[in-house]
Chain A
């Protein structure tokens, strides 16, 4: 386990990140979009931890950052779901392309 190179972590996180980007851009359902967003965040967290391990082995800064990001994303998810519920109450669906009133 300890002989997995840095590139391995980065490849995984890159795949996760672009999977998130793809989902964010292509899905209609807001819950799916939220999940894609979480994917992107988690990809960034993996990068934090991996770089911490390989570049500054004796320290814990990167790990703390990852913990923070997880906490923040939990809070953000709660808010996002609250917004989605409100949108649902208003337009009876959660398709993102129907929420387009804010335009010219």
Chain B
């Protein structure tokens, strides 16, 4: 049943192999077309899978069941503990299949225009396929170890895509940074998996998240440093998720990842890499809520802090892609926070549903924002806001679609962002007032910085002189923009709670206009301030920044997180640990080996003169030796 979902995952991998091996011999366009056609098939199949899962196969009464179309044992450790490879379909994985294939397809099409004439066009498409494959494999993983394998594949493919312009030192540095930071967090993830599986004796999600598995998690009473081992395991697993999802303090790789081609940024930010952490927490959610509720509280606060932090930083950045990067961090943190404030059950689990809903809508409007930004960069050949302004005349389609995305992320109805963000705010309001006000303030900041971005690109200095007149992007770039804009307008109306919930049971939600009007109000205020400051070229923004100079500078430098990391790694770890270790290696370990060789050498030099080459000397020695041995034998 539904075993054709294997094709969805396998096809991008085959495309990767094919394009990677023989792509270099083809014309670039042909290679791109082959990759795109492969992904179109995947996309169509995942739509079919979603349709049949949600409306016929998966739904029994009011509950969605988990389907495992295929599963085979790969590595067997004990009867219970074995690593399998397979496919598991449940509401969130099917939803993710749709999101990933859709966004990836849009990126594939868009890249025809954006990457035209680039060196390594075929390699680019091969890597895009690999990226899609690893993320698809991650979401359908039926056990945590398969998830980990694909998790690392996501890391590798993002590494090679961020460093796509490998002749540029900054891109190489950014790709290394992304890989090392996420890999560092993944170390904790692996330890967490091992601890969890050691105690629970299984890797399978179905066993872990079933009521029996959760009861088991509650029954473990072992503690370590005052915390139960389940909490430790879940905390370590969350650290892995925080690394990929760019939560504090692992967010530093994400802004630098902007060095990659813009469509890749869209893919990383909207559908693949960064949502992996959210997906992980959602996947393990029952274990969190029953086994480790204290960790869930920590997750809530980390999420809320990150959301606020990233929103503040986003207000000060001038590189348009960096603004979007920080907005991604902020929105991902929203999802994490929503998971943190969620309970278990139908309406109790509102936060969970809202988080998945926001993931869904965010994927489309964030992809739209990045692709729109790509179109702007394509037109003016710069990332800096200062070299833009008044572009609405030149880029009408980009302008309209970008505006739709901005309205959506700001939370203005009827665009999709409003619905999901509103659900998150409601969930937070019911659970934790502090977190609610924090998120609420973030919503205002989001509206402000998105419209700051919008006005500074498309309005502002209307008489800006460009070296050559900016032109609208080609059709291969505008069609994905229009398609995504259309999606952004409509996906908010999907009754998401009827598809995704914590216990997979259908429930109904309705918009609570009391909180909804509050969130619309703050969004409108944010937009109004941005309009006042940036719509026309004026000095009001300079005045405001002068008023809060110290804070502004700190925010502009991202609150010095990069510097702190550099200080910790370079000064403390390097000087305090690596240098002594290197000294020990060089002087003690190597020293012992060198001593041995020196002694051998010295002794050989001393006795080599015995090897004289004079045969009669040897005969003498032989004789004397024989005499000595015989006398010993005879007389003793």
Contact = CB atoms under 8 A, between A and B. Distances in A.
Contact of B616 (A25, A102, A103, A104): A25
B613 A24 contact: no
B623 A103 contact: no
Contacts of A100: 612-615
Given A104-B608, A104-B609, A99 B620 contact: no
Contacts of A101: 613
Nearest to A97: B614
B478 to A, nearest CB: 83
A100 B614 CA distance: 5
A96 interface: yes
Interface string A43-74: 00000000000000000000000000000000
B623 A102 contact: no
A25 B620 contact: yes
Nearest to B609: A104
B619 A103 contact: no
A84 interface: no
A65 B221 CA distance: 88
Contacts of A97: 614, 616
Interface in B597-624: 608-609, 611-616, 619-620, 623
A104 B614 contact: no
A104 B619 CA distance: 18
Contacts of B615: 96, 99-100
B623 A104 contact: no
Contacts of A96: 614-616
Contact of B619 (A25, A99, A102): A25
Contacts of B608: 104
Contacts of B616: 24-25, 96-97
Contacts of A102: 613
Chain B contact residues, majority secondary structure: helix
A21 interface: yes
A83 to B, nearest CB: 12
A103 B617 CA distance: 12
B611 A103 contact: yes
A43 to B, nearest CB: 15
Contacts of A104: 608-609, 611
A24 B612 contact: no
A21 B613 contact: no
Contacts of A99: 613, 615
Contacts of B620: 25
A99 B623 CA distance: 20
Contacts of A24: 616, 619
A56 to B, nearest CB: 24
Nearest to A26: B616
A104 B612 CA distance: 7
Interface string A80-104: 0000000000000000110111111
A21 B612 contact: no
Nearest to A103: B613
Contacts of B613: 99-103
Nearest to B607: A104
A1 B608 CA distance: 55
A85 B623 CA distance: 27
A77 B619 CA distance: 19
A74 to B, nearest CB: 22
B21 to A, nearest CB: 57
B611 to A, nearest CB: 5
A72 B177 CA distance: 79
Contacts of B609: 104
A92 to B, nearest CB: 19
Contacts of B611: 103-104
Nearest to A30: B615
Contacts of B623: 21, 25
Nearest to B616: A25
A97 B619 CA distance: 13
Nearest to B604: A104
A32 B433 CA distance: 114
Contacts of A25: 616, 619-620, 623
Nearest to A101: B613
A29 to B, nearest CB: 12
A99 B612 CA distance: 11
Interface centre among B611, B612, B616 (most CB of A within 10 A): B616
A48 to B, nearest CB: 19
Contacts of A21: 623
B281 to A, nearest CB: 72
A104 B606 CA distance: 12
A103 B618 CA distance: 12
Interface centre among B608, B614, B623 (most CB of A within 10 A): B614
Nearest to A28: B616
B47 to A, nearest CB: 82
A100 B618 CA distance: 11
Contacts of B612: 100, 103
Nearest to B614: A100
Interface string A14-38: 0000000100110000000000000
B89 to A, nearest CB: 77
A102 B614 CA distance: 8
Contacts of A103: 611-613
A26 B145 CA distance: 81
A21 B611 CA distance: 21
Nearest to A100: B613
B5 to A, nearest CB: 74
A92 B609 CA distance: 27
Contacts of B614: 96-97, 100
A46 to B, nearest CB: 20
A61 B608 CA distance: 45
A99 B613 CA distance: 8
Nearest to B615: A96
A24 B617 CA distance: 11
A53 B613 CA distance: 43
A99 B616 CA distance: 11
Interface in B28-86: none
Given A24-B616, A96-B615, 6 more contacts: A24-B619, A25-B619, A97-B614, A100-B614, A101-B613, A104-B609
26 contacts: A21-B623, A24-B616, A24-B619, A25-B616, A25-B619, A25-B620, A25-B623, A96-B614, A96-B615, A96-B616, A97-B614, A97-B616, A99-B613, A99-B615, A100-B612, A100-B613, A100-B614, A100-B615, A101-B613, A102-B613, A103-B611, A103-B612, A103-B613, A104-B608, A104-B609, A104-B611
Closest 3 CB pairs of A and B: A103-B613, A100-B613, A104-B608
